[in-house]
Structure 1
């Protein structure tokens, strides 16, 4: 804050004195978030001279408004014009990357002027050029105001904002402090400044950057032309090292300490700060006694939202302490990457692939046992979490450590659930797009009890809202009805007949109920492995090529398992692998339809999973074939289209799979989802008709989830008009029941 500066009692700064103008600028920049400068001559060399303080000012979120005269060097004019007409994305700077910014400002070459252009493009520096109305002459002001959000310091003096003004000339300036002056002392100056900046002054007019005169020597009354003759590069290179003032050296040391603190401190990874909903999630969590479930659609930033909670707790205590549970080693890497964005530096990963974590956790727990305040982020797979070796260290962590459970439904799995009653950490966050365990109400209740939460949960962010707000991209849904082959119909009918015989005996008979369950699973496998899916898959690929000319950025969810020899129509599909693995058939069809398309399988046995995802993101792999492996948490925003060949009635699976595809990407407009829906032949007179109707309704629940949020909703629904009529079903009714 500005009052932390030791200002001279006189309020005056002079070159050669204990308090010199260069010291003032450096100290005030570091403590400020805004600077208004009303200048005559301006040279970006002044920014180079003040690089140390200026880069810290920018990392504070600082912004500068400059009003200058209409004379600039050739290089400065080029930088101003570039920044005014080019997107900030064209430059390689980022506010959070302090070191990169400081190095750029500290060097006086091409990179330096790129940095100046970036500052202008990002509106970190806003420049207005003025000249007197209806007269010769130039703007020759030398004043300004620093702001820190609460306090202000106004200054006025002889010093131009140039390298020579700061380093070579004998200059002076006087300051006025808002906390010691009359509250109205700044009002008139600020009003005048705003009028000049907005072009509303009676005595000065704005000129366009194109009209700025880029000169080295030009006669403007013979005044201050030496400003334009100075060799700026050599002067900037001298920097503050030549200043002998003790006050200046103390200022530099203070700045260096602040910079060290900044570089070591956690911070939100994006300059814009947390979104409103991320702030709301934190407040709701605090309001629920630091417990709760964040039910947030895939792609809405569950990771960022929860790490922001850890960041807020760090702001209170000065320490970040969290244990993050994740389902897979791939997610260990993703969470590590995201945590580093927050500048959390003390990160320990624990999984089957991690080594050395016992020593690292041992060091942390030893420090804690001696009362040493220690920060840490432990990222551990659920499997490793259940191991006694990890539990030994886990139990020694402070009870105020934040426990984050990613894909929180996993916490109710038997191996983890048996440990929950012994968990001593009181701050808990569960994260999931689909918290409820559909086929495990007891597990859902156990999970909700652990997080002291229930529907609609501490924070809820629906997919509908995410699409409406542009956080997820809009999508088209193209369902394809798949029919059974004659052989599959025979098998399906035989199983259905057996079901009909024992269905009436299921009530009160455990043995009959188990038989029904077994037969239903057998019939479901027929649907799962239906050969018609292979034909539909080929049709879909050809449709994609017809519409888009190539198959790229495509994710295929293939069925798990193997085909039996008797399940393969050898005339239609030759045996493609020795073991008839289903995913290999789909891979072969891609090669047949488009020989130049590059494909890779992504399964639980795949090596270098992270490398595969990077190659897919870069377009080096066009099609990624997965078996279930990409259901939870993996971030692949570049996916533009997905083909669902694996029938699933589990909402968690198909909702999370859809979320993989809907993540935003700069090069992606819409997503395209192709879905295979297997519908058995309807026979209202069949004794198993009602069982079949329930099976079809389960398939249509997925259709409803997908179709009702799709851009082509009515087109997608119309595909099932005849099916709904045959089975006496209504998609709107199903949607209403699901929404209840």
Structure 2
């Protein structure tokens, strides 16, 4: 009588030995001469075991060490309709897939619903230590009778529900691979990199949930999410949820003009850059144009001069004094509403902070100081914060109402994240959030602002005012809350 095949977990892979009869399983396996046994990638665990069962092939499953949990949920608020729909769509996909929801749409609560539904040991992976602490606190309140642990930032717990940073989970991927039946990837667009994707590849978890506002990546690697987690099973935008789960909002671009001195410096810098790009036959609008420019700038003094000129042009457009004048006007108009100010560089953050005595947060801000600033902001002691990129992702600012973008990148993800900072309703049922984009006219600022809106936007020019207004193609009539509004160009020479 032949022995039953035994399935074991070994260093991020599966071993099936002795080989079972039939050929149904063979497509999953690769022969390993070193141990003279068949190896199977851990990520195929669910498909493999289902295939063995469907073909009545007996086997002993010694691979899995995840188990069922008794979940006592103390966070029994009623889910929004979109959360119920998202959970059902994920369940219909056999508990594997990506849910795309805007910032502030309740992705953490959706994850809690998935944990309650599957009742499996769970690994939650997040990009930052701040997010790790936020998830931990939320899960502790929701599931007080379940042991919640941390992996990262000096913690190395071994618990049925574990919250980890991507970095720590990748380092320990082999050890974690067979301990958890449910993987939850917050901001899952971080996953498809050579280092981080091992978390999914070396795991046998049959259930996988990805959460993000923007799964697409510039390098195209988001296509790997289909294999690592599952296909996109549900998607909603800020516009679709505004007025219900999210606050109503306006996006208002304000045009400013450079001073004659700034304009002259800007045009000189752009000319130096463009002359080099023309000689090097590089187009920044091409897919790899920026990478080509970086490489070329390192090969010659002309290239370095062109790159410095490019940076100077960005600094002039992003930090023109006209933008700061508009900033003060907006603060005076909206104070004491809570305001977030975003820039693209730390120098402008510190300039605003020092000049106007506004608390600032950058990646250089010590953790303790950052926590104190955010706490005072939440409590209302501070009404205004200025930051570069550090508040884009993973910071809960529940009652911010006004956001002012003085400068930024062309990233759609960054734009959605910054907008999301002000969309939480909190206790304000009639909240109207406003996002201001302050744009330097006749500079690359305009193209950058248009690019971050994505493909659903077009450019309208009004020659009489020299402005650019951005409207969604399909919703020009409903402009009260969704369409971009404009103010006249602001020229400091008019004063």
Which residue of 2 is the match for residue 607 of structure 1?
367
Return the alpha-carbon distance in structure 2 between the equivalents of residues 669 and 697 of structure 1: 31
Which residue of 2 is the match for residue 559 of structure 1?
344
Return the alpha-carbon distance in structure 1 between the equivalents of residues 135 and 291 of structure 2: 44
Return the alpha-carbon distance in structure 1 between the equivalents of residues 284 and 434 of structure 2: 43
Q: Is the 8 A contact 2:173 2:199 kept in 1?
A: no
Which residue of 2 is the match for residue 311 of structure 1?
116
Which residue of 1 is the match for residue 219 of structure 2?
440
CA-atom RMSD, angstroms? 3.6
| 2:141 is the alignment partner of 1:341 | yes
- 1:145-201 CA-to-partner distances (Å, cap 9, x unmatched) read xxxxxxxxxxxxxxxxxxxxxxxxxxxxxxxxxxxxxxxxxxxxxxxxxxxxxxxxx
Q: CA deviation at 1:291?
A: 0.4
Which residue of 2 is the match for residue 270 of structure 1?
76
Which residue of 2 is the match for residue 321 of structure 1?
121
Return the alpha-carbon distance in structure 1 between the equivalents of residues 235 and 185 of structure 2: 16
Q: Which has the larger share of strand?
A: 2
Q: Is the 8 A contact 2:339 2:385 kept in 1?
A: yes
| 2:277 is the alignment partner of 1:499 | yes
Return the alpha-carbon distance in structure 2 between the equivalents of residues 633 and 459 of structure 1: 21
Q: CA deviation at 1:477?
A: 1.9
Tell me: CA distance 1:418–1:722, structure 2 relative to 1, closer, same or farther (3 Å): farther
Which residue of 1 is the match for residue 319 of structure 2?
533
| 2:166 is the alignment partner of 1:382 | yes
Q: Is the 8 A contact 1:294 1:431 kept in 2?
A: yes
Tell me: CA distance 1:309–1:673, structure 2 relative to 1, closer, same or farther (3 Å): same
Which residue of 2 is the match for residue 450 of structure 1?
228
Q: CA deviation at 1:706?
A: 11
Aligned to 2:87, the other structure's residue is in SS state helix
TM-score (norm 1): 0.48
Tell me: CA distance 1:336–1:507, structure 2 relative to 1, closer, same or farther (3 Å): closer
- 1:354-405 CA-to-partner distances (Å, cap 9, x unmatched) read 2xx2xx41xx5xxxxxxxxxxx210000111122xx335302404xx11000
| 2:236 is the alignment partner of 1:461 | yes
Higher relative contact order (CA 8 A, sep 6+): 2
Q: Is the 8 A contact 1:643 1:673 kept in 2?
A: yes
List gaps (5 residues or longer) in structure 2. 1-69, 298-302, 476-495
Which residue of 2 is the match for residue 587 of structure 1?
353
- 1:278-301 CA-to-partner distances (Å, cap 9, x unmatched) read 222222112112100010111110
- 1:217-263 CA-to-partner distances (Å, cap 9, x unmatched) read xxxxxxxxxxxxxxxxxxxxxxxxxxxxxxxxxxxxxxxxxxxxxxx
Aligned to 1:656, the other structure's residue is in SS state helix
Q: CA deviation at 1:679?
A: 4.1
Which residue of 2 is the match for residue 403 of structure 1?
183
Q: CA deviation at 1:500?
A: 2.7
Tell me: CA distance 1:703–1:429, structure 2 relative to 1, closer, same or farther (3 Å): closer
| 2:87 is the alignment partner of 1:282 | yes
Aligned to 2:345, the other structure's residue is in SS state coil
Return the alpha-carbon distance in structure 2 between the equivalents of residues 725 and 449 of structure 1: 48
Which residue of 1 is the match for residue 131 of structure 2?
331
Q: Is the 8 A contact 1:473 1:663 kept in 2?
A: no
Q: Which has the larger share of helix?
A: 1
List gaps (5 residues or longer) in structure 1. 1-263, 315-319, 365-375, 562-580, 592-597, 682-691, 709-716
Return the alpha-carbon distance in structure 2 between the equivalents of residues 507 and 470 of structure 1: 37
Tell me: CA distance 1:506–1:582, structure 2 relative to 1, closer, same or farther (3 Å): closer
**1:127-206 matched pairs, under 5 angstroms:** none
| 2:197 is the alignment partner of 1:412 | no
Tell me: CA distance 1:540–1:412, structure 2 relative to 1, closer, same or farther (3 Å): same
Aligned to 1:429, the other structure's residue is in SS state strand
Tell me: CA distance 1:704–1:280, structure 2 relative to 1, closer, same or farther (3 Å): closer
Tell me: CA distance 1:449–1:723, structure 2 relative to 1, closer, same or farther (3 Å): farther
- 1:113-149 CA-to-partner distances (Å, cap 9, x unmatched) read xxxxxxxxxxxxxxxxxxxxxxxxxxxxxxxxxxxxx
TM-score (norm 2): 0.70
Aligned to 2:422, the other structure's residue is in SS state helix
Return the alpha-carbon distance in structure 1 between the equivalents of residues 285 and 314 of structure 2: 28
Aligned to 2:143, the other structure's residue is in SS state coil
Tell me: CA distance 1:674–1:482, structure 2 relative to 1, closer, same or farther (3 Å): farther
Tell me: CA distance 1:620–1:395, structure 2 relative to 1, closer, same or farther (3 Å): same
Return the alpha-carbon distance in structure 1 between the equivalents of residues 293 and 427 of structure 2: 52
Which residue of 2 is the match for residue 671 of structure 1?
433
Return the alpha-carbon distance in structure 2 between the equivalents of residues 624 and 696 of structure 1: 25
Tell me: CA distance 1:305–1:524, structure 2 relative to 1, closer, same or farther (3 Å): farther
Tell me: CA distance 1:515–1:584, structure 2 relative to 1, closer, same or farther (3 Å): closer
